[in-house]
Chain A
Amino acid sequence: MAFYLEKDFFEDVELFNLVTKVMSGDLTLHWYDAKTERVRISPKDPSRGLTYEDCNIGSYSYDRLPELIRTNYSMAPRGSELWGKLPDLGYTINRKSDVWADNVAALYEEAKARRWAPAVDVPWADLAVASLPEPVEAAMAQLCTFLQECATVEMSIAAQWVYSINQEFLELKSYLSAQIFDQARHIEAFRKRALAGGQGLKRASVTAEQALKEILSVETYPAGSVVGNLMLGSFLLGLYRHVAAVAPSPADFILFRFVMQDAARVVAYGSGNLRYHLTHQPQEVNVLHEYLDSAEHCLLGLIGSQECLEPLIILSGGGSTEEQVRVGCQRVGRLLAQTVSEYLERCERAGLTKRAERSRLPQYLQRMGIEGRET
Chain B
Amino acid sequence: MAYLSTVDFFEDKNFLDRWQRNLKGDLDLSWMKAKTEKITAAAENTRRGLTFRDLDRGEYGFSAMPELIRQNRSFAPRGAELPDGLPDLQPAVSQKSEVWAYNTEGYYEEAMTRQWNATVDVPWHELAKYELPDEISRAYAQLLTFLTEVEMIATDVPAEWMGKLNNSFVEVRNFMATQVMDEARHAEVFRKRALTTGYGLMKASPQNEVGLKLIRDSDSFAEMSLALHLAGEGFVLTLFRFSEYISPTEADKKMFRLVMQDEARHVGYGVQHLKWVMRHFPEKREVIHKHLDEVENLLFGGGYAVEVTEPFIILAGKGLKKENIEQGTKITALFQLKQVEEYFERLDKCGLEERRKMSKLHNALELTRASLQEAGVLA
Evaluate contact between A159 and B203: CB separation under 8 angstroms. no
Evaluate contact between A145 and B80: CB separation under 8 angstroms. yes
Evaluate contact between B38 and A1: CB separation under 8 angstroms. no
Question: Does chain A have a CB within 8 A of B342?
Answer: no
Instruction: Specify the chain A residue showing the minimal Cβ separation from B170.
Output: A187
Choose from A49, A124, A198, A199 the contact partner of B49 (Cβ within 8 Å): A124
Q: Nearest Cβ distance between residue A69 and chain B, in whole angstroms?
A: 15
Evaluate contact between A167 and B152: CB separation under 8 angstroms. yes
Question: Does chain A have a CB within 8 A of B18?
Answer: yes
Question: Does chain B have a CB within 8 A of A13?
Answer: no
Question: Does chain B have a CB within 8 A of A68?
Answer: no
Evaluate contact between A37 and B200: CB separation under 8 angstroms. yes
Bound-state Cα–Cα, A364 to B185, Å: 44
* Interface bin, chain B: 35 or more
Evaluate contact between B74 and A195: CB separation under 8 angstroms. no
Instruction: Specify the chain A residue showing the minimal Cβ separation from B85.
Output: A206
Among listed B205-213, B230-238, B272-280, B344-352, interface-contacting one = B205-213
Question: Does chain A have a CB within 8 A of B7?
Answer: yes
Q: Which residues of A contact B301 (CB under 8 A)?
A: 5, 7, 9, 12, 15
Bound-state Cα–Cα, A332 to B177, Å: 33
Q: Which residues of A contact B86 (CB under 8 A)?
A: 204, 206, 209
Given A124-B42, A201-B60, A202-B80, residue A3 in contact with residue B31 (CB < 8 A):
no
Bound-state Cα–Cα, A159 to B158, Å: 9
Instruction: Specify the chain A residue showing the minimal Cβ separation from B4.
Output: A214
Bound-state Cα–Cα, A200 to B187, Å: 39
Evaluate contact between B173 and A184: CB separation under 8 angstroms. yes
Q: Which residues of A contact B181 (CB under 8 A)?
A: 177-178, 180-181
Evaluate contact between B159 and A196: CB separation under 8 angstroms. no
Question: Does chain B have a CB within 8 A of A130?
Answer: no
Evaluate contact between A32 and B294: CB separation under 8 angstroms. no
Choose from A192, A202, A207 the contact partner of B50 (Cβ within 8 Å): A192
- Most chain A beta-carbon contacts within 10 A, residue among B4, B48, B75, B157: B75
Q: Which residues of B contact A124 (CB under 8 A)?
A: 42-43, 49-50
Question: Does chain A have a CB within 8 A of B262?
Answer: no
Q: Nearest Cβ distance between residue B280 and chain A, in whole angstroms?
A: 23
Question: Does chain A have a CB within 8 A of B5?
Answer: yes
Instruction: Specify the chain B residue showing the minimal Cβ separation from A177.
Output: B184
Evaluate contact between B297 and A10: CB separation under 8 angstroms. yes
Q: Which residues of B contact A6 (CB under 8 A)?
A: 210
Question: Does chain A have a CB within 8 A of B145?
Answer: yes
Bound-state Cα–Cα, A147 to B121, Å: 33
Evaluate contact between A192 and B82: CB separation under 8 angstroms. no
Bound-state Cα–Cα, A76 to B187, Å: 11
Q: Nearest Cβ distance between residue B114 and chain A, in whole angstroms?
A: 9
Query: Which B294-321 residues have a C-beta within 8 angstroms of A?
Result: 294, 297-298, 300-301, 304, 306-307, 309-311, 313-314
Evaluate contact between B23 and A329: CB separation under 8 angstroms. yes
Q: Nearest Cβ distance between residue B117 and chain A, in whole angstroms?
A: 4
Evaluate contact between B109 and A210: CB separation under 8 angstroms. no
Bound-state Cα–Cα, A138 to B38, Å: 10
Evaluate contact between B213 and A89: CB separation under 8 angstroms. yes
Bound-state Cα–Cα, A180 to B183, Å: 12
Q: Which residues of B contact A174 (CB under 8 A)?
A: 184-185, 187-188
Choose from B52, B184, B306 the contact partner of A18 (Cβ within 8 Å): B306
Q: Which residues of B contact A92 (CB under 8 A)?
A: none
Question: Does chain B have a CB within 8 A of A300?
Answer: yes
Question: Does chain A have a CB within 8 A of B79?
Answer: yes
Instruction: Specify the chain A residue showing the minimal Cβ separation from B332.
Output: A23
Choose from B9, B28, B197 the contact partner of A300 (Cβ within 8 Å): B9
Given A49-B124, A174-B184, A369-B20, residue A202 in contact with residue B31 (CB < 8 A):
yes
Q: Which residues of A contact B36 (CB under 8 A)?
A: 200-203
Among listed B96-104, B214-222, B242-250, B263-271, interface-contacting one = B214-222
Evaluate contact between A112 and B118: CB separation under 8 angstroms. yes
Q: Nearest Cβ distance between residue A107 and chain B, in whole angstroms?
A: 13
Evaluate contact between B117 and A112: CB separation under 8 angstroms. yes
Bound-state Cα–Cα, A198 to B41, Å: 7
Question: Does chain B have a CB within 8 A of A249?
Answer: no
Q: Which residues of B contact A145 (CB under 8 A)?
A: 77, 80
Q: Scan A63-105; emit 1 where CB is below 8 A from any B CB, else 0.
A: 0000000000011110111111111011000000000000000
Q: Nearest Cβ distance between residue B149 and chain A, in whole angstroms?
A: 5
Q: Which residues of A contact B149 (CB under 8 A)?
A: 75-77, 80
Question: Does chain A have a CB within 8 A of B27?
Answer: yes
Bound-state Cα–Cα, A191 to B207, Å: 44
Bound-state Cα–Cα, A367 to B282, Å: 62
Choose from B173, B184, B187, B201 the contact partner of A36 (Cβ within 8 Å): B201
Q: Which residues of B contact A40 (CB under 8 A)?
A: 195-198
Question: Does chain A have a CB within 8 A of B150?
Answer: yes
Instruction: Specify the chain A residue showing the minimal Cβ separation from B8.
Output: A297
Evaluate contact between A1 and B10: CB separation under 8 angstroms. no
Q: Nearest Cβ distance between residue B115 and chain A, in whole angstroms?
A: 5
Question: Does chain A have a CB within 8 A of B281?
Answer: no
Bound-state Cα–Cα, A322 to B24, Å: 11
Evaluate contact between A75 and B202: CB separation under 8 angstroms. no
Question: Does chain B have a CB within 8 A of A160?
Answer: yes
Evaluate contact between A87 and B39: CB separation under 8 angstroms. no
Q: Which residues of B contact A196 (CB under 8 A)?
A: 40-42, 50
8 closest A-B pairs (Cβ-Cβ)? A204-B76, A184-B177, A76-B204, A119-B49, A49-B120, A9-B301, A177-B184, A217-B3
Given contacts A86-B209, A87-B212, A160-B160, 18 further A-B contacts (CB under 8 A): A3-B216, A9-B301, A34-B203, A38-B200, A39-B199, A42-B125, A43-B125, A77-B201, A118-B50, A138-B32, A142-B31, A145-B80, A180-B159, A187-B174, A204-B80, A217-B2, A304-B15, A309-B22
Can you list 29 residue pairs at the A/B interface with Cβ under 8 Å?
Answer: A2-B217, A5-B210, A19-B304, A22-B313, A27-B310, A36-B199, A36-B202, A39-B195, A39-B198, A42-B128, A50-B124, A50-B196, A81-B202, A81-B203, A81-B204, A83-B203, A85-B210, A109-B119, A148-B75, A149-B76, A163-B216, A183-B177, A200-B38, A211-B9, A306-B18, A306-B30, A310-B27, A313-B27, A364-B10
Interface residues of B (CB under 8 A from A): 1-11, 15-16, 18-20, 22-25, 27-32, 34, 36-43, 46, 48-52, 55, 57, 60, 74-77, 79-87, 89, 108-109, 112-113, 115, 117-122, 124-125, 127-128, 138, 142, 145, 148-150, 152-153, 155-157, 159-160, 162-163, 167, 170, 173-174, 177-178, 180-181, 183-185, 187-188, 191-192, 195-204, 206-207, 209-214, 216-219, 223, 291, 294, 297-298, 300-301, 304, 306-307, 309-311, 313-314, 322, 325-326, 329, 332-333, 360-361, 363-364
